[in-house]
Amino acid sequence: MTTSYRTLGFIFKKEDKFEADRNFSVFTKDFGRVEVLGKSIRKIASKLRGGIEIFSFSEIEFVQGKVRKTLTDSVAEKRFNNIYKPEKLKISYNISEMLDDFLKGEEKDEKIMSLIEDVFTKLEDYKKENCSIVYYYFLWNFISLLGYEPELSNCPICQQKLNPYNLYFSNKEGGVICRSCYSLKKESLKIKSDIVKILRLILKKDFDILSRLKISSDIGNSLSAVSEGYKNYLSPKNI
Ligand SMILES: [Zn+2]
């Protein structure tokens, strides 16, 4: 007899297999990341078809075979219908890529689960054209939940309080370092105090203020550089 499992999950990746199958990567409430195969799901008549879509929450049921998990039922629980615009989709795929890179094992994590729901709800409701702040909100809070919360108050090397005019982000030290430590190490990115302020707001999850910030292209580029730099430094695929 095969045992079947039922759980709620967020579908963050899909990949077509064989003639009509599709593999789904799902971050689930009870088992962490799982890969489930939807057999013949791409056929019009498939009953599984409507219940599971990328970037949505579904209740899924699967059986564990010798080599893979096979989807046996799926019920859509929460969809985000307002994310199918180029800018929002781009962010959805960026988030998906991070989940794919960083979440490898079957390890459940309720905080990550609620962050995903929180972020997609924000993306769904976001009104401004440029919504990259939603992505950075995810990126830094996700990295922090994985244990890499950046140090933003004191230099992690010498413990001195940081001077807002001389700030450098160090991936290796996991935070903002001071000028004297920078002059010894050099492997950091000079940043403005505005970046530190934005990162603090992100980690405080003060999205109300974040969504009203006017971010200049200069600060936007710097935020992108420091965020992508830290993410890539930590990414398991680059180790
Ligand atoms: Zn220092």
Per-residue pLDDT tens digits for 66-88:
899 999 999 999 999 999 999 99
CATH of domain 4-78: 2.40.50.140
Q: What is the DSSP letter of 40?
A: T
pLDDT tens, residue by residue, 38-67 = 999 999 888 888 899 999 999 999 999 989
Distance (Å) from CA 155 to ligand 1 centroid = 5
Give me the mean pLDDT over the 157-174 stretch.
95
Task: Residue 104: name the closest of 237, 4, 9, 231 by CA.
Answer: 237
Distance (Å) from CA 19 to ligand 1 centroid = 58
Distance (Å) from CA 79 to ligand 1 centroid = 46
Q: Which pLDDT does position 184 carry in this prediction?
A: 87
Q: How far apart are CA 111 and CA 99, in angstroms?
A: 14
Distance (Å) from CA 135 to ligand 1 centroid = 29
Distance (Å) from CA 183 to ligand 1 centroid = 9
Distance (Å) from CA 129 to ligand 1 centroid = 39
Q: Which pLDDT does position 220 carry in this prediction?
A: 97
The CATH 2.40.50.140 portion of the chain extends over 4-78
Distance (Å) from CA 148 to ligand 1 centroid = 19
Q: How far apart are CA 46 and CA 23, in angstroms?
A: 15
Residue 156: which region, alpha, beta or left (left: phi > 0; alpha: psi -120 to 50)?
alpha
Distance (Å) from CA 216 to ligand 1 centroid = 28
Distance (Å) from CA 178 to ligand 1 centroid = 4
Distance (Å) from CA 109 to ligand 1 centroid = 34
Cβ atoms of 42 and 21 closer than 8 Å: yes
Distance (Å) from CA 161 to ligand 1 centroid = 8
Distance (Å) from CA 151 to ligand 1 centroid = 12
pLDDT tens, residue by residue, 166-205 = 999 999 999 999 999 999 877 899 999 999 999 999 999 9
Give me the mean pLDDT over the 122-145 stretch.
96
Q: Residue 1 pLDDT > 70, yes or no? A: no
pLDDT tens, residue by residue, 194-208 = 999 999 999 999 999
Distance (Å) from CA 158 to ligand 1 centroid = 4
Q: Which pLDDT does position 23 carry in this prediction?
A: 96
Q: How far apart are CA 69 and CA 222, in angstroms?
A: 43
The CATH 1.20.1440.120 portion of the chain extends over 82-238
pLDDT tens, residue by residue, 211-239 = 999 999 999 999 999 999 999 999 998 87
Distance (Å) from CA 194 to ligand 1 centroid = 19
* The one-letter amino acid at 45: A
Q: How far apart are CA 87 and CA 134, in angstroms?
A: 11
Distance (Å) from CA 199 to ligand 1 centroid = 19
Q: Which residue has the higher pLDDT, 99 or 185?
A: 99
Correct CATH for 82-238 of 1.20.1440.120, 3.20.20.80, 1.10.240.10, 1.25.40.10: 1.20.1440.120
Q: How far is CA 131 from CA 54, 113, 175, in A?
A: 20, 21, 25
Cβ atoms of 124 and 83 closer than 8 Å: yes
